[in-house]
């Protein structure tokens, strides 16, 4: 089982401290190997954990780093989709509905292309809330 899978299981079981530690291990491994897609994945996981804790500043920092790295790698469409969805989540929680909607709308085609059902559902739900809030 990969570090990513372990971190995701820990996250789903609401074992946030353990999940965060595992994502940090993934982050270190990615840095040591110079593997940017894995680094983007680690940042996405850390952003999700920060969101779950209500630490919106940290979530925003991690999501922006994930997005930047995903875009640098060029063909990592699924990672860009997840990063955009996370940015939508952060902006929605920061009461920036217009900005959130823009990121959700950017994320959906990318997520749909890779059939990332859980992220698609989150992006659609977030977009619905953002549209309702912006009127």
In this predicted structure, what is the pLDDT of residue 127? 96
* pTM for the full predicted model: 0.91
pLDDT for residue 76: 64
Q: What's the confidence (pLDDT) of residue 71? A: 87
Q: What is the mean pLDDT of each run of 10 residues along the chain (135 residues)?
A: 92 97 97 94 97 98 95 76 96 97 96 89 96 89
pLDDT of residue 62: 98
Contacts of residue 98, Cβ cutoff 8 Å, sequence gap at least 6: 130, 134
The predicted structure's pLDDT at residue 35: 92
Per-residue pLDDT, 111: 92
Sign of the C-alpha dihedral computed for residues 15, 9, 112 and 83 taken in this order? positive
CATH architecture classification, 3-134: Alpha Horseshoe (1.25)
pLDDT at 33: 96
Contacts of residues 51-55 at CB distance under 8 Å and 24 or more positions apart, as own/partner, are 51/86, 51/89, 51/90, 51/93, 52/11, 52/14, 52/16, 53/16
Where in the chain are the domains?
Answer: 3-134
């Amino acid at each position: 089982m990969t570090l990513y899978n372990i971190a995701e299981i820990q996250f789903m079981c609401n074992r946030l401290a353990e999940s965060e530690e595992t994502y940090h291990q993934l982050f270190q491994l990615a840095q040591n190997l110079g593997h940017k897609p894995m680094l983007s994945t680690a940042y996405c996981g850390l952003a999700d954990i920060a969101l779950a804790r209500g630490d919106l500043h940290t979530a925003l920092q991690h999501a922006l780093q994930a997005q930047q790295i995903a875009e640098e790698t060029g063909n990592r469409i699924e990672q860009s989709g997840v990063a955009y969805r996370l940015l939508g989540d952060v902006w929605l929680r920061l009461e920036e509905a217009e900005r959130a909607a823009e990121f959700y709308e950017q994320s959906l085609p990318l997520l749909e292309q890779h059939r990332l059902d859980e992220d698609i559902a989150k992006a659609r739900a977030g977009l619905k809330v953002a549209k309702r809030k912006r009127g």
